[in-house]
Structure 1
């Protein structure tokens, strides 16, 4: 694997020696985390989202500051800074000092912060990231460039042989297609298909929320027929049955559920299945904003409050009952 990390170079040298000693072919790979060099910044920001300082989000400015503080402390521990310089650091208390180590840009750091870390009163946060930004998907020319500039220990013969072996491995991969469709549990609908079962659930909701309650039932019936037709064409009946089952289970088990989130509030079927609590016709909400034949539908974004390792009583096969192990109290959003 070719990159500019020093430890990686040391590992590469050992791997090559072992391969030659055991007469094993080796391959040269490109450590690719993103497509182009510009992706380095996006990855840095993404990794920093997991970096916290006493519960607070670490910023790019914090990252630079903590990096320099760590270098200062390492220099002190390795006796790279004189005793007099150490005393100057610790005696200045909150007075701001400027440091410039290893051509790093100068940043304002208080001496008391250094002291707190050295005395164990504070820990420097773990900043997720890499020491290099050369993890993009390199072409052949760029691989040659990084070999010449960073991996001079690798002979031309070994380099070309490693690339040839990599191509051999690539050619051994059989052609395949990835099935990226959503994988949902199998719903037990008895002797009915999923669409017929969904219609039955909608009829039950109709009797509770529409029949004898709404004056102009014709408008609602026309809307219901339109929605059911689209749902049948898109073959998402099973999905809506699953959503309705866990939403109603949550409501029956005193778990907080929102009255309706986003475009789902525009569906009369969702209203009749008790997924949402909003009458879309009364509030003039569009079903087409939720789903339409012309575009695909994104799956629901939902969370449950206070699950405590309970089992949702879904109408699935026993082997496919979902187990919930989220112990945090969070609001369900649908």
Structure 2
């Protein structure tokens, strides 16, 4: 059985579009002997930390990527239907080759939300890609991408021009992506099939000495999951199952296939499987660890660290709340402060007390506290809450 890795996969983090649970995907990949798996959710990298953790549990190489929404101009926010204008949005798959690539993918994702958000789509453009392409592998992507769309529309010269742009930018880190799905015999009523597109792409690959890869654009884990995925699409598009013209996938073929299934599907292009392993070998697995990432809370003069400043504020507040500080109160505050320090949450408490104080100064309504926060004497002394946990014998450990 030839080695193969899936490089185009959507999970539950492709919101209301992907129906694959990350852990289940990794379990299936592990059982099938797949050495690596890629995460390429639509427009975001929300699942990256969970994805890397689940892969590491099973000794699978995690390949972090994203299927971006690519537009001519990310800043354009208005389109005149009377002039035939619309949000010309294409899919674009990119993978992080190394740490630099991961950082650049993260920047592209963030800028898509910050600068390119339109409707529900975080969009990027080629101006951003030129700035942040180092360490990135890209492919010609799926039927929804710019090169395949130009082919479907019969604009082969345009398709070739678009392809050259990517080749000039990325060289050997740009790959031709082939997909084969049932139900793609007549794309959008054009009479052009997915296999027609593949043949043109294979011609481009030969002409420009590019390598081809096989993918399956997986949106759910097993073939039987197609209906659950279809229901998810109905929720996404606010449509009913029995509506004839609603958006739906053309078949039940968009699942996480085994190596054997992919080998049969591309038996006439075996190099498309082999080249997925070339990408696998290029990838340096990201070392992502969950950490507390908080803004750096500015300290006033006289204080050198956050724990010391937090302790100062807490005891200052305790004198206001309790008057004379009893041994019981002191023990409780010291216990909480030590736990907060050991967990690295000093900055978090400083930030929360700061915006709660600002809210009260601006006349914004602030509740007395809820949930486990009400069990904290530190929160009470910082006026984050207005419930005395010592008086009511509430547990900080909650």
Query: Is TM-score (shorter-chain normalized) higher than 0.5?
Result: yes
List structure 1 runs of 4+ shifted beyond 6 angstroms.
none
CA deviation after TM superposition for structure 1 residue 63, in Å = 1.8
Matching residue of 2:272: 162
Gaps of 5+ in 2: 1-178, 188-193
Q: Secondary structure at the match of 1:27?
A: strand
Change (3 A) 1:42 1:205: farther
C-alpha distance in 1 between matches for 2:232 and 2:370:
27
C-alpha distance in 1 between matches for 2:228 and 2:345:
35
TM-score, with structure 2 as normaliser: 0.47
Give runs of aligned pairs for residues 127-276 of structure 1, distance below 5 A. 130-145=249-264, 147=265, 156-158=267-269, 160-190=270-300, 191-212=303-324, 217-276=326-385
Q: 1:63 aligns with which of 226, 237, 240?
A: 240
- Is the Cα contact below 8 Å between 1:2 and 1:31 reproduced in 2? no
Gaps of 5+ in 1: 53-61, 71-126, 148-153, 290-334
CA deviation after TM superposition for structure 1 residue 269, in Å = 0.8
CA deviation after TM superposition for structure 1 residue 225, in Å = 1.3
Q: 2:203 aligns with which of 2, 5, 17?
A: 17
C-alpha distance in 2 between matches for 1:245 and 1:204:
15
C-alpha distance in 2 between matches for 1:38 and 1:258:
48
Give runs of aligned pairs for residues 70-109 of structure 1, distance below 5 A. 70=245
Matching residue of 2:214: 28
CA deviation after TM superposition for structure 1 residue 128, in Å = 6.5
CA deviation after TM superposition for structure 1 residue 260, in Å = 1.4
Matching residue of 1:280: 389
CA deviation after TM superposition for structure 1 residue 206, in Å = 0.6
How many residue pairs match? The answer is: 210
CA deviation after TM superposition for structure 1 residue 138, in Å = 2.3
RMSD: 2.7
- Is the Cα contact below 8 Å between 1:3 and 1:31 reproduced in 2? no
CA deviation after TM superposition for structure 1 residue 187, in Å = 1.4
C-alpha distance in 2 between matches for 1:279 and 1:177:
43
- Is the Cα contact below 8 Å between 1:31 and 1:135 reproduced in 2? yes
TM-score, with structure 1 as normaliser: 0.55
Change (3 A) 1:278 1:43: farther
- Is the Cα contact below 8 Å between 2:224 and 2:252 reproduced in 1? no
- Is the Cα contact below 8 Å between 1:224 and 1:269 reproduced in 2? yes
C-alpha distance in 1 between matches for 2:379 and 2:280:
48
Change (3 A) 1:140 1:258: same
Identify, as 1 or 2, the structure richer in strand. 2
- Is the Cα contact below 8 Å between 2:368 and 2:386 reproduced in 1? yes
C-alpha distance in 2 between matches for 1:230 and 1:245:
20
C-alpha distance in 1 between matches for 2:355 and 2:252:
45
Change (3 A) 1:5 1:226: farther
C-alpha distance in 2 between matches for 1:38 and 1:225:
56
C-alpha distance in 2 between matches for 1:279 and 1:39:
51
